[in-house]
Each structure stands twice: as C-alpha cells, then as structure tokens.
A and B are shown apart, each in its own frame.
Chain A
Amino acid sequence: MAAIQASKQDKPTLTVVPADKDARNPIRPFDPDLVDLCRANLSAIERRAASLPKRRTVKKDWQAAWLLKAIACTDLTTLSGDDTPGRVARLCAKARHPLREDLVHALGIEALALRVGAVCVYPTMVGAAVRALEGSGIPVASVATAFPAGLSTMATRLADIKAAVEAGAQEIDIVVTRAHVLTGNWRALYEEVAQCREACGAAHMKTILATGELGTLRNVARASMVAMMAGSDFIKTSTGKEDVNAILPVGLVMTRAIRQYKELTGHDVGFKPAGGIRSAKQALDWLILMREELGRAWQEPTLFRLGASTLLSDIERQLDHYATGRYAAYNHQPLV
C-alpha cells in the first residue's frame, strides 16, 4: 500500500502532443491499447445519464440564450428518399433565417446574425444546397460512403465522398461498417475510417458510428476511440435510420471517449448526436451533457452539432413563448 503522491504525474499510454488549438485531429497510428482501455458499465452510465438532466437546468433568459446556441449548433437535415432540389431549397431558406424576423427583433439579437451550423443532405442534393446557401457562409454537409448502411465496395464509398466534396460539400458525414465493430476487427475499422479521412481532403469528417447497431456501450466506446485515432473531426451517434438513435447514455460514452482521447493526445474531437432529437428540452439536455462532460468549448458549432430537422420548430415555439409570454402554435413558425 502507498499513499498517493499529490505531485506525481499521470502515466498516459500515448505521448501527449500539445496540439495546436486550431489543428485538426490527425490520423494517428493504430494503437490497440487504446481500444483495450475502454470500459463502459451500462448501469452506472444509465444512472448518470438519468440524473444529468435533473442536476442541471436553465431557466428564463439563460434558457433563451441556450436555445439560441442550440440553433447555432444545429445541422439542419433532410435525408429522405423523396428529397428534391425544391425541398432542399426550402430547408436552406430556413437555415438562413432560423427564427422569424419579428422574433429576432423582439429578442434583440439582430447583431448575432444567427444561423444554423450546417445544412446536411444526400450527395446528389449538395449542388442544390450550395446554390441555395450561396453567400450565407453556412457550410453544406453531405452524408457519404453509401449512407446509411455503408455496405458498398470501398471504391464506391470513397468515390461517394469525392463526388460530394467536388460538388461543394465542406463537411462529410461517413458511416462505418458495423460488421468490423461486431466482429472486433478494430484494425479494419481504423483502416476504413482513415481512408475516408484521406478522401475527404480539406472537408471536415464526421464519423457516424450507428450506435443503435453496435450492441453494447463498450463497443460504442471502442468504436469511438478507433474513429478518433483514424482522424475523425467529429464522431456522430446515428444515421437517424437505426431503431435507437441519439440517446444520452450513448452520448455519455462517446463524450467520455472524446475526453479520454484529448487527455491522451491533446486533440479536440467534436460530437454530433443525431436522430430523434425533436424537442427544445432534448436539445438543452445535450448541451448540458456537453458542458458537464467536456466543457464550454464543446457548446460551439466548432465542436458540437445537433443533427435534426423538426427540432428547430420546437425551439422557435419556446423562444416565441419567452418573447411574448404566450404559448405558441406551430403554424405561426415558418416550415422547416
């Protein structure tokens, strides 16, 4: 037995490289030790996830400010088989003006020039989105690599990325081969994600883990770690097509993996929950999770995005109520 020395340094698995604050997370060498390090105790994680939204809340002015931040962090998304350029244009118009003009004035936030984090579409819709968002500064994000299942040949999937980037997408949301996770083939997962990252070039890459199909939270932790080693700029929960999408216990595991990765490498990796986030309350819960587990920096669109579509309407209603004191109706908010 020994007393813990207050001064002794931690012994990390990797050498901590003091990362340039703006530098992207690079592709690091594959390190199986980092995968082995992952633990996720389901019951304990569920308890924390359940108590978190009860330990923190924001009210009144602060709630309004946090909801505005949720808008700024939203990847306004349409990923449907019946998407058309017209539908995408409508979405982009909403992205430019996420809040009604009179509401912006009532809240006194003209100077914020509030806009969403990005607009997220299928590769074939990237062109339409880029045109609709011209001059707005809003980046276009595209899902790629044979979204949502990802079970095409690697060549097809990489071509998918390149096409989207060429069409003007600045952010690429890739999907991973769930089989690599389910069979414990971490090196294959690493290779796949690293190849995607190379194909992305300057475009920022969000790696969708499809956590609802990974079976266990430990798999979520390990897949998160591998995705980060392979150079992901963001890790993202879901395609929105799985049975279970963004839920707080999964978010907790992924944010803790991000924290662990930062402790070991010094690099900041972003987080994007997506799928099933429809209410303003849920958006606040996710923002609270980011603040508590990762800190203030992860409450900005540079490191945090909410993948959602109808969420915006509910946030708008809450802000309407905040501004007027009257509960709002959906038909008063312009359609997403």
Chain B
Amino acid sequence: MATNLAALFHSLDYGPAPEASAEAQAWLDRHGRKFGHFVNGAWRPGRKYFDSVNPATKKKLADVALGSKEDVDAAVKAARKAQPGWAALGGFGRAKYLYALARHIQKHTRLLAVLETLDNGKTIRETRDIDIPLVARHFLYHAGWAQLLESELKDMEPVGVCGQIIPWNFPLLMLAWKIAPALAAGNTVILKPAEFTSLTALAFAEICQAAELPKGVVNIVTGEGETGAAIVDHPGIDKIAFTGSTEVGRLIRRATAGTGKKLSLELGGKSPFIVFDDADIDSAVEGVVDAIWFNQGQVCCAGSRLLLQEGIAERMIAKLRARMETLRIGNPLDKAVDIGAIVAAVQWQRIDALVKQGVSEGAAIWQPSWSCPTEGWFYPPTLLTDVQPASTVMQVEIFGPVLAAMTFRTPAEAVEIANNTPYGLAASLWTENINLALDMAPKIKAGVVWVNCTNQFDASVGFGGYRESGFGREGGIEGMWEYLKPNWEKTQAALPAKKRKKPLIGPGGAGDGAEIVSIDRTSKLFIGGRQVRPDGGYSRTILDPQGKRMGEAGEGNRKDIRDAVEAALAQRGWASLSGHGRAQILYYLGENLAERRDEFAALLARMGGAPARQAKSEVEKSLERCFAYAAWADKYDGLVHNPPLRGVALAMNEPMGIVGIACPDEAPLLGFMSLALPAIAMGNRVVAVPSPLAPLAATALYQVIETSDVPAGVINIVTGDREELACVLADHQAVDALWYFGSRDGGADIERRAAENLKRTFTNRGRAFDWHDNRQSEGRHFLRQATQVKNIWIPYGE
C-alpha cells in the first residue's frame, strides 16, 4: 500500500469524497455543450448564446441560448395551441402525464443532482437529499390534484397560458413548484430559468420528451432579464408566476397592471429565527445551520435575523460559534461538504459589500478560523452581533451566509422585532412550551411559521409571503387556486363605456321638495365610529337621474383617507375577536338594516331611477348577504395539511389587515355590502369609498352601523372622488389590500400603484359583476381575497 495508513489513523482527517460528475459531463457533451430553447416539443436554436458557468470552479459549462421576443412568441403560440387539448384531457389524462414526469425524475435523480450542483454551486448533499426528491414529490403530489380537480375544485377552469420566471437558488425545484400545479390545473406554460442556472430545466425538457408530454404543454425559453420582460409583456399570456427579488416583483406588478393577467409573486424576505430561553439550545443551534447556511444562505426564507431571549443569548452565541468552526466549505461535489459556492461573482460582491457596510455601521463580525477555497466564489459563514433593528444588515436581505443576531426580553418584544420589516415570508420559533409557540405563531406576520424546525418544504403545504414578500401560495390546495379561475368570469360583460355625469361640488339647485318636510341632513364621512366633517370642507350635490337634487355627500380628500386608515389601524381588537363574536355583529347589522328596509328601498329607487321592485330586491339581497357573511364568520376554517413528517402543518386563514375598497357604481348598496361584509367577517378593517354616483346608499348606513355594535374603526367610509381616493389608498403603505370595482383604467392605475408596497389587489378587471348572482358575488371567492394563508409547521414527539 502506497498510502501511509498509520498517518491517517493518527490524523483521522475526513479526506476527499467527491461525487463523480462524469455522467453529467457526458450529458453536456452529448448536447455539444450548446443548448437552444425547448419550444413545441422540439429544440429551437438560439440566435445568440451566453455562458453557463460552474461557480465552484469559474469554468464554463455550456452555451445557453439567449431568448428573444421571437422565441417567446413561438413558445406562446405553441402553448396557446396546446392548451385546449391539454385541458380537455381531463383530470385522469393529465394525472398520468404528471405521474410519468415524477417517475422519470426519480429514474434520473443522480444525473439531475450532479448537474444542479455543477451549475449552481450548491452541495451535492442538498441536491441529492433535498432538491431532487422534493421535485419528484411535487410532481407526484400534483398528479393527485389533476386527478381530483373536477370533484374537489368545482366551477373552476384553467387560467390558460402561464408565463413562469424562476430564480437560480433552487433551479429545478422552483421549476417543479411552477410547472406541476400549472399543468395539473390544465394550463400550458412558458418557463424561463434564471440565466445562471438553466441546465436542469433543459434536462427536464428532455424528460418531457421522454414522458411523451404533448407538444407545447411545456416550453422552456432560456435567457436573461429581457427574455423575462418579453414573457411578462406578452399579450398572449394569461398569468405570470414569478419567484425572485422584491425589486423585480415590483416591476412585474407594474408591467402587468391593467392587463388582466393573473399574478403570483414569491419575493424576498428577512425572516426571524426566534429562540426562547426554554428551547433545546443545541437543536436550535443546528436549526440556525439549516436556516442560514443551507444553500449558502441564498434562500428567500432563510432565517437571517437571529433573535435570542436575553438570558440565553451568550450561551447560544458561544455554542453557535463552536458549531460554525465545524462547518466544511469547499467543492460542492464533495459529499462531506456543508457549504458550496455562491452562485456568481455579482452575488458574492453584493454579500461582501453588505457585510462591510454592517461592520462599518458598528457590527461585530465573527467568522470561523479556517479559510475558504480561492478558486471559486466561496463566502465563509458569518455571524454579526452588536446590531440593532436600525442596522442595515438587520433590514436588508443579504441572500448569503450571513446571520445578524440580537436579543429580546419578552415574547411581546420578540413579536415587535420580528414584525419590524417590510417583508413577511417565514419565521422559525424555538421553545419547548406549546402555549408560547401557538401564541406566537399567529402574531408573526409571515406566510410560513416553523415551530422547532426551519426550511421545511413540502408539496402539500402552501408556501408564500405576507407584505412585500409577495402574494399567492405554492403547494397545497392554496397553491392550486393560483392556476385556476372561476368559470363565471368569462360570462361577465365589460362595464358600459358611457359614464354618468359626475356630481358637482357646491349647492346643486332645487330638489323635488321631498326633503323640505324633514330637517336638513349634514353630509359627513364615517371615520373611527364617528360621523366627521370632511377635512376640505366641501360637499358634492347628489342628483337623481332626472337631474334633481337629492342631497349632499361630503367631499373626502387624502387627509380623510389618512385619518380613516389611522382609525382602522387603531382598531386592534377586531381581528382577534372570535368568529362567533363577529357573526353576532353581522347578524345585528342585518337586523338593523331590516328595520329600515323601506327607507333604503325608497332611497335606491330615487338614486338609481330603477323600478321600486328592483330597489326592494337590492335591499333584500343586502340583508341576505349580512346573514351569509355572519354565517361564514365562524366557518371559513383553515386546513390541517399532512406533510411527510411526524407532525402537522396548520393552514390558517388570517385577515389581510387593512382593506381599502373602492365600491362599484352598479347596485350601490348591494355592491358596498358584498365587498365590505366578507372583509370584516374575516377580521379585516375596512376603508371604503362608496360609488361617487350614489354615495347616499352608503352614507345612510352610518346610523345602521352605529346602532349595530360594530366597533369603531372596523368600517370607515369616505365619500368623494373614487378614482382619486382609491389612488390615495393604493399609495398608502399601511393598507394591506385594495379592492377596486370601478373602470378598467382605474383598476390598471391602482394595480400599478399597489406595486409600491406590493399590496394585494382585487379588481373587477373592468367588468360588471352581477351582484344579485350569489355564484359570482358571494362566498369563498371573496373570502379568499379577504384572507391570506399562514402555514404553521408543528413537528411533535417526546
């Protein structure tokens, strides 16, 4: 034996343990290390190409085609052509293909794992044990949804052609998260992988061929930002699904505003990792490793803010440093390596710059004593202490192996610090106290909460963010909704283009004498449970269709909206009131409205000029809606998901928070009620702008609301120019969702403005709702808009 075993016996080093890459290299060679696009089931050569590089060696792996507008066009055309046939295959038909894709992935796991490691720089341990098994799981799980769609997701139909843009941190897994639910629902797709990591998507294209997937169902166009923009802007695409940075998410929100494209965004995060003093500290330390040194910290839900209860902070930090020393960084193909390479130079430089900025702001930096390999883009695990919520490194997403740690004193303070971020993607809680864990989980603004674990993913559990971490979910039934639309949508007609004359500011002349008999009514706004005069001191005269004066409505301005949002924010108790409690108030609202049904019917008849019978039926339907949402208030239950672990994932429906509502002109009372009621039934507080043509239907509600025990600030009503006020609401950073039911252009405008804080929008897409039709105007469709799903992972066992 040439080797000195005796020396190794004494040193007991780990030694190299490289995974062979020969098969993956041979696969690249077979393709001449040059890849075109996959369009309509065939390879389409590119005009220009760019390099795909192995970040662990900085060596080029292959040429990848740079997608042009023409390439995207061809892909959309193929997808469009294939879509009706794909949908017509039916659930079982599509399930067979999705099952075949899952099995083909399982047959080629190692090739895919090695290829992913070569292309991305993440360790073979992760690609082999986490990424690729989850990819197969995702297709298998969604084969099930294809199968069950017709029975379990009734009255829904596929969105159509989906444009999907994915990031480089989990290349094939993100492809699976996008393609599997889209295909299950009957859509066809054009997917663009990230420019740094196209190779496994191209291998997947081959798998589609092997599974004999019909041509055009899956199209893959590689390229850079411009290619993505061509997809986002393409008029032939019905839905955009994007995972990536919040910055690009905003651009996409703006670009798709008013196009009617359905949109789901999974964006950045700065997720808290909270350790209480009764936690299993050693396990929590290992949790930190999985939170921030998994995939080099290039994970949108990485636990990058470590929050430690003061009493255990020093002990935990000491243990963490010791653990950091034993992390191994290096060749990601080595099976005994924990941390691989950063995906590209530009990302490495960003991490380095942010860490330097943190240090210059006073952070204490700690890194292990060992040094990183120099041949690739390696960045050492880094711990920053002496940081505050105001520090850049506590606020900005670093997307690298960098952890910032600080302390808290009480659970309430932990919540306060955890929520002190524009993001809301994930959180990890460590405590042995179930009371504490289950109390904390709902208080943290995040789409995913992991109790005593972190970075757990499964196809059966929805994943996605609150706030500026985006909207929409991937995984679970909640993920399926993103790829379906109600089948009544196509029956809705465009709103009539002709507009009724806007009421004018100032006294409007004589009425018909009806009011003279009663005492004059002051036109006010309803803010914080009180009737208040508009800030500007102007009123609009409301005329009936014959041009006769009916009364006045206060002219609300941006300051009134500001005050209304403040009043809504001040109303903290509503969301935590039980569904039972909210139901009683909604029933009471109905009761009090019923007392005055004739008065409302007369008012509606005069305002709308409609026959008395129609006005009466609008009031009756409004009463019915009070009862409907009182019924829903304590019945819109969450779900218990069963991911493959000993434990559960609780999918809780949580209110959005502050919902702005711009009400429709059609059915002024019923439209208002149909939107405000589901919002408040789910625990939201509402700032509503009634129809400017018929605001009196809403202002007449003030007294009904006042007498119905609706807590102050739950419903706020600001009359005035709907377009102008909706824009103020859209711009308001503290408004969480905006529902707009005016003109098509107005809807486009608020979607564009909503991009600023990525608030969720719900619009009529410029179409008329039939507010009398329960199928389109009542129930789950509205409740889903009024809520966001939080998944709480609770592994258990003693």
Contacts and interface: CB of A to CB of B under 8 A. Distances in A.
B9 A112 contact: yes
Given A54-B129, A65-B12, A299-B12, A108 B432 contact: no
B212 interface: no
Contact of B407 (A2, A218, A292): A2
A5 to B, nearest CB: 7
B16 A59 contact: yes
A158 B653 CA distance: 62
Contact of B405 (A4, A10, A45, A57): A4
B438 interface: no
Nearest to A42: B797
Contact of A1 (B1, B326, B409, B797): B409
A4 B6 contact: no
A65 B318 CA distance: 32
A15 interface: no
Interface string B207-238: 00000000000000000000000000000000
Contacts of A62: 8, 13-15, 17
B1 A108 contact: yes
B646 A43 contact: yes
Interface in A68-116: 68-69, 106-109, 111-112
In the complex, which range does the number of interface residues on chain A fall in? 35 or more
B283 A57 contact: no
B553 interface: no
B281 interface: yes
In the complex, which range does the number of interface residues on chain B fall in? 35 or more
A57 B453 CA distance: 25
B408 A39 contact: no
Nearest to A12: B315
Contacts of A65: 5, 8-9, 12
Contacts of A59: 15-17
A243 interface: no
B283 A2 contact: no
Interface stretch (B169-177, B306-314, B616-624, B688-696): B306-314
A288 B68 CA distance: 51
Interface string B1-40: 1011110110011111100000000000000000000000
A64 B413 contact: no
Nearest to A48: B286
Nearest to A300: B12
Contacts, number: 143
A110 B317 CA distance: 45
Contacts of B417: 1
Given A39-B280, A64-B5, A108-B5, A296 B12 contact: yes
Contacts of A56: 14, 336
Contacts of A216: 798
Given A65-B8, A292-B326, A296-B12, A44 B336 contact: no
Interface stretch (B385-393, B496-504, B556-564, B709-717): B385-393
A191 to B, nearest CB: 27
Given A39-B279, A39-B432, A41-B452, A9 B314 contact: yes
A218 B798 contact: yes
A323 B1 CA distance: 8
B308 A4 contact: yes
A3 B314 contact: no
Interface string B312-341: 011101100000001000000001101000
A256 B317 CA distance: 16
Contacts of B432: 39, 41
B626 to A, nearest CB: 45
A286 interface: no
B370 interface: no
Interface in B455-482: none
B351 interface: no
B366 interface: yes
B795 interface: yes
A334 to B, nearest CB: 21
A55 interface: yes
A11 B432 CA distance: 22
A324 to B, nearest CB: 11
A194 to B, nearest CB: 26
Nearest to A219: B798
A4 B14 contact: no
A8 B314 contact: yes
Contact of A256 (B282, B287, B407): B282
A58 interface: yes
Given A4-B317, A66-B12, A44 B286 contact: yes
B453 A4 contact: no
A266 to B, nearest CB: 15
B628 to A, nearest CB: 41
Contacts of A39: 278-281, 283, 432
A4 B12 contact: no
Interface string A1-30: 111111011110000000000000000000
A69 B9 contact: yes
A326 interface: no
B647 A43 contact: yes
B265 interface: no
B725 interface: no
A55 B313 contact: no
B795 A43 contact: yes
Nearest to B18: A59
A176 B107 CA distance: 50
A12 to B, nearest CB: 8
A130 B364 CA distance: 58
B453 A6 contact: no
A62 B279 CA distance: 37
For A51, A55, A296, which residue has the most chain B Cβ atoms within 10 angstroms?
Answer: A55
A3 B388 contact: yes
B646 A1 contact: no
B645 interface: yes
Contacts of B279: 39, 41
Nearest to B798: A216
Nearest to A62: B15
A271 B111 CA distance: 40
A107 B406 contact: no
Given A1-B417, A59-B17, A69 B12 contact: yes
Interface in B335-354: 335-336, 338
B488 interface: no
A245 B317 CA distance: 33
B5 A44 contact: no
Interface in B380-405: 385-389, 405
Interface string B405-420: 1111100010001000
A283 to B, nearest CB: 13
Given A4-B313, A40-B280, A106 B1 contact: yes
Interface in B574-592: none
Contacts of A291: 12
Contacts of A44: 280, 283-284, 286-287, 452-453, 795
Given A1-B408, A41-B280, A45-B280, 12 more contacts: A1-B417, A4-B386, A6-B366, A10-B315, A41-B279, A42-B797, A44-B280, A44-B453, A54-B129, A55-B338, A68-B9, A111-B6
9 contacts: A1-B406, A1-B407, A4-B407, A43-B647, A55-B338, A62-B13, A63-B15, A64-B8, A108-B6
Interface of B: 1, 3-6, 8-9, 12-17, 125, 129, 278-284, 286-287, 308, 310, 313-315, 317-318, 326, 335-336, 338, 364, 366, 385-389, 405-409, 413, 417, 432, 452-453, 645-647, 795-798
| Complex A-B, nearest 7 residue pairs according to Cβ-Cβ distance, in ascending order | A62-B15, A65-B8, A44-B283, A43-B795, A6-B364, A39-B280, A42-B797
